[in-house]
């Protein structure tokens, strides 16, 4: 099974990805983790990415796609994977489609975790307040200003993927603001595994 999770920051994509991994025994692929692993392994891609990351530059799409191609060609990806945080743009989605086609693979599911932005902002701020009150760690990006910037970037760059995948009849949508168990139940049902 090959799957993409879409949704705004803070909606719970990482949590749901871990539940998918546990249930289906597939990989959770994060582009950030893949790029860091390529750097650590000193692969050809890793050496190029290392210079960019060290300078603070964004890694270009072609290198991100190359890192994904490198990772999904490894034996442990044979059972499938769930991508969380990629693709982020239409151009990345098109390049990813081309990669899958070249490898003779298909994307089985794209699940969008929907959320009302104001409710999502309140949820994140509540999470930060509760962590602070309990003496736990508060994520640096768990504040209204940073989250608003991230949501704006999502709406501008990533939200158009919803229509892109809908026109390809791959998109399923789930209310991401339900309790975690309910989101998981709906997600599995949306992909025919409920």
Q: Which residues are catalytic?
A: 13, 88, 127, 139, 150
Residue 55 tokens, joined: 């300078």
Describe the crossing of helices 160-167 and 90-103 by its angle, rounded to 10 degrees: 40
What sign results for the dihedral spanned by CA atoms 94, 95, 100, 102?
positive
> In this structure, are residues 142 and 125 in contact, taking their beta carbons and an 8 Å threshold?
yes
Q: Do the Cβ atoms of 100 and 107 come closer than 8 Å? A: yes
The H or E element that residue 147 is part of is: helix 144-153
How many other CB atoms are there within 10 angstroms of residue 43's CB atom? Answer: 15
């Amino acid at each position: 099974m090959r799957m993409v999770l879409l949704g705004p920051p803070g909606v719970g994509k990482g949590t749901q990805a871990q539940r998918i991994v546990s249930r289906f025994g597939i990989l959770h692929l994060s582009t950030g983790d893949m790029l860091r692993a390529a750097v650590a392994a000193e692969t050809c891609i890793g050496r190029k990415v290392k210079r960019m990351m060290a300078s603070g530059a964004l890694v270009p799409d072609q290198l991100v796609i190359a890192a994904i191609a490198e990772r999904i060609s490894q034996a442990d990806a044979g059972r499938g994977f769930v991508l969380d945080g990629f693709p982020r743009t239409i151009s990345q989605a098109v390049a990813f489609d081309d990669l899958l086609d070249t490898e003779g693979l298909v994307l089985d599911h794209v699940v969008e975790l929907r959320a009302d932005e104001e409710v999502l902002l309140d949820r994140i701020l509540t999470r930060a307040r509760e962590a602070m009150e309990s003496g736990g760690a508060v994520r640096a990006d768990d504040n209204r200003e940073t989250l608003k910037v991230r949501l704006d970037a999502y709406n501008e760059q990533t939200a158009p993927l919803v229509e892109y995948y809908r026109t390809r009849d791959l998109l399923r949508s789930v209310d991401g603001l339900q309790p975690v168990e309910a989101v998981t139940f709906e997600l599995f049902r949306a992909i025919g595994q409920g």
